Structure 1
Amino acid sequence: MTSLNGLSLINFRNYERFIWEPKRQKVVVFGPNGSGKTNLLEALSLLVSGRGLRRSLTEAFIKNDKQDCGWGIQANIHNDLVGTYTISTGCLPNSIKRQFRLNGQPLKNQHSLSKHLSIVWLTPQMDRLFLEGSSGRRRFLDRLIFSSESYHSKEIAAYEKSMSQRNKLLAEKCYDHLWLNAIEESMACHAVAIAATRNLFVKQLNQLSSFSFPDTELVLNCPISENLDHNPALIVEDNLREYWKNKRFEDAEHKLTRYGVHRSDVVFRDKYSLFNANLASTGQQKALLVGIILKLCEYIKIKEKTLPFLLLDEPLVHLDVNYRAALLNTLDCYEGFVISTGTDKAPFETSGQDFEFLNIDQGIIV
């Protein structure tokens, strides 16, 4: 089990100085709108790779009246297997370069954090996953995978770096074929690894059942993953390299790579009725999302890996009374750290579960 022993925030969002030591590993943060509940969850989400649950730019994290100061987040974490350690991130004064540290020592890149902590979050904004573009759904799938397969984030970062290099060369009409061959070889290698991981994860997750919530099935829409179902990885890599080589002039006109795992999509649907989530009601969509998160936790337990921190922003909104009860009972049995938010603590109190309640007002515990 991985637990949160302490959290410190300096000049982050509406928190000037916040020091907190959780008394329990099941926490409910409540308070009026704008009090800083989601900011607290966002701070925790920044302890792993990426831009956090809001996907904000680094300069947005600094407290409004502290623009000339730095900001920082530090968590004291205990893992039953490796002991206690600290993870911290932030920026120095007058800088927008985000730094990462483990036990006070700088890390070369943020993807190293995935070896030490995984975090999964659910926010009200994610209800739009079913209606908006594929990029959000793809990021959601990859975030689920990060929680159990730490190497996946490195593969994606490497693929995106190579693709960015290819796009830059083509945009500048630089057709150095030896250089492009090397870049596309790197892209193909990482693309196949990404597609294979997504493919296997989706298939294994779909084999699990969700008894308290709608049984959500994920359908991966990715020609590269489909190709891997029928051909060896080396053949798929060769096909990708040849395809990108033949499309260089066309991609140069568009100044981007128009084919690859960065264009994959994920469809969410009810496992038995095959009813697509984009046609469901708001309440049904929320229940489908919660069902996916709970199936993920079961998946990680089966793989005998450390459960992620769960960050649930307004998780009870849009759920009916039965789903609310089912979610709270499930969280009570969760063998890891869970933090939820709500404008009122009453819906959580009625469950009879043993939560720590944290009343936040303008970035201060009251």
Structure 2
Amino acid sequence: MTTPDRYISRLRLTSFRNYTSAALDLDHRHVVLVGENGAGKTNLIEAVSLLSPGRGLRRAPFESLALSGSDGMWAVAATVETPFGPADMGTGATTDTAAARRVRINGANARSVEEMSDYLRVLWLIPAMDGIFSGPAADRRRFLDRLVTTLIPGHSAAVGDFEKAMRQRNRLLEENGDPAWLSAIETQMAETASAIHFARADSLAHLQGVMAANVADTGFPEALLELSPLFEDSVPGTASALEAELVGRWKTARALDKAAGRTTFGPHRVDLAVTHKDKAMPAGLCSTGEQKALLIGLVLVHARLVAQMTGITPLLLLDEIAAHLDPRRRAALFDALDKLRTQCWMTGTDPVLFADLGARAQRFAVDAGQLARMPG
């Protein structure tokens, strides 16, 4: 296995989930975590996912992350090996409110959580995402926004800002609020909505191009991707024009939205359509195995896109990834990971599932929040 440009060489947890404390010292190889359900495998990779913008792979409130019975404080710290030398990164609960978190990089407070993306990018697949193609549109939007955030770190904050402003608008409509204040909120919404829309559309266009050129190397099927339009008619092609269009339409729709009790159109209503290219079939109608293969292929290709566009190949967190793959698919996955040249963290209940990785992985047993290095 070729040494990746970036990987975690040291991980420390303090009062996080079911870990009073935990320490891993690592080399560049993949990381396999083996243990029974409930032992803390997913908790460990959730901690790694917090070394990126957003709320991590479970999207959990920060105040829920602390060890039960503790004082509410928790911390995750890592050393990331980069082409420019090691970088020390950490995140944890703030002292003033457990609902927020702070980030420190190389001993100094970071200006924003997005600053972590200068050193590390993170992507993940978890079992809860297995039904994403047949589930509600909100799940696909969250999946898409995670992909976009790995490319554009500020995207997650833009989505959060839009949703906060939209909730304010909904309350003002319900309370017959000041029209001037409504206009100000709608202007703010339009600015973030435009940024969200173009970030999604541009990222999908780049992803589709990279997929067409590279998916054969992954051993997984190619997907066709399409974002549903913001409106039934045409969408303006520039940010300023789209902002003006949204402001006008939201003003016109105030009575309708008040009656509906929600904002009836905007980036929070779009959907991601995914089609199995070879079968010309919507992903949601494919078999469970085919949907899993499409999802894995999407993430593998997106990792290549992030590497091409940012120069940083993302770390991959794959929770229970091997359990539902046949031997051929598992071998294809392991080979594709080697081609990516990244450190991948994988969890499972049976070490046999990872036997084909051989010396390409370092293995740890997880038992009730305790870690032990396994031979091999």
Q: Do the structures match in fold with TM over 0.5?
A: yes
SS of the aligned residue for 2:234 comes to helix
Counterpart residue number, 2:180: 178
1:64 and 2:68 matched: yes
Change (3 A) 1:295 1:315: same
In structure 2, distance between residues paired with 1:3 and 1:42: 16
Counterpart residue number, 1:222: 229
Alignment of structure 1 residues 111-150 onto 2, 5 Å? 111-150=114-153
Query: Match for 1:193: what amino acid?
Result: A
Change (3 A) 1:166 1:116: farther
In structure 2, distance between residues paired with 1:257 and 1:106: 37
SS of the aligned residue for 1:333 comes to helix
In structure 1, distance between residues paired with 2:233 and 2:298: 22
Query: Match for 2:227: what amino acid?
Result: L
* 1:190 aligned to which of 189, 192, 200: 192
SS of the aligned residue for 2:296 comes to helix
Q: Tell me by how many angstroms 1:93 deviates.
A: 7.1
Superposed CA offset, 1:274-317 (max 9, x none) = 21111112111111110001111222233252011100001112
Query: Match for 1:132: what amino acid?
Result: G
Stretches of structure 1 that go unaligned for 5 or more consecutive residues are none
* 1:155 aligned to which of 158, 174, 180: 158
In structure 1, distance between residues paired with 2:121 and 2:341: 14
Query: Match for 1:198: what amino acid?
Result: R
In structure 2, distance between residues paired with 1:282 and 1:244: 39
In structure 2, distance between residues paired with 1:227 and 1:353: 54
Query: Match for 2:327: what amino acid?
Result: V
Query: Match for 1:11: what amino acid?
Result: S
Contact 2:148–2:203 (CA<8 Å) still a contact in 1?
yes
Alignment of structure 1 residues 1-366 onto 2, 5 Å? 1-66=5-70, 68-81=71-84, 83-91=85-93, 95-103=97-105, 104-107=107-110, 109-174=112-177, 176-207=178-209, 208-209=211-212, 210-211=215-216, 212-223=219-230, 227-228=234-235, 231-366=237-372
Contact 1:227–1:236 (CA<8 Å) still a contact in 2?
no
In structure 2, distance between residues paired with 1:160 and 1:107: 25
Superposed CA offset, 1:86-115 (max 9, x none) = 322222579523322223433454344344
Q: Tell me by how many angstroms 1:268 deviates.
A: 1.6
In structure 2, distance between residues paired with 1:107 and 1:169: 35
Change (3 A) 1:131 1:350: same
Contact 2:7–2:28 (CA<8 Å) still a contact in 1?
no
Contact 2:230–2:265 (CA<8 Å) still a contact in 1?
no
In structure 2, distance between residues paired with 1:72 and 1:225: 46
Q: Tell me by how many angstroms 1:353 deviates.
A: 5.0
Contact 2:51–2:89 (CA<8 Å) still a contact in 1?
yes
In structure 1, distance between residues paired with 2:232 and 2:77: 38
Query: Match for 1:170: what amino acid?
Result: L
Q: Tell me by how many angstroms 1:32 deviates.
A: 1.6
Query: Match for 1:87: what amino acid?
Result: M
SS of the aligned residue for 1:202 comes to helix
In structure 1, distance between residues paired with 2:233 and 2:87: 41
RMSD: 2.2
What stretches of structure 1 move > 4 A for 4+ residues in a row?
Answer: 92-95
In structure 1, distance between residues paired with 2:111 and 2:262: 28
Superposed CA offset, 1:48-80 (max 9, x none) = 2222211222333122232x3522111222321
In structure 2, distance between residues paired with 1:224 and 1:14: 46
Q: Tell me by how many angstroms 1:261 deviates.
A: 0.3
Change (3 A) 1:69 1:162: closer
In structure 1, distance between residues paired with 2:315 and 2:232: 29
Contact 1:332–1:353 (CA<8 Å) still a contact in 2?
no
SS of the aligned residue for 1:239 comes to helix
In structure 1, distance between residues paired with 2:119 and 2:179: 40
Q: Under a length normalisation based on structure 2, what TM-score does the superposition of the two structures give?
A: 0.89
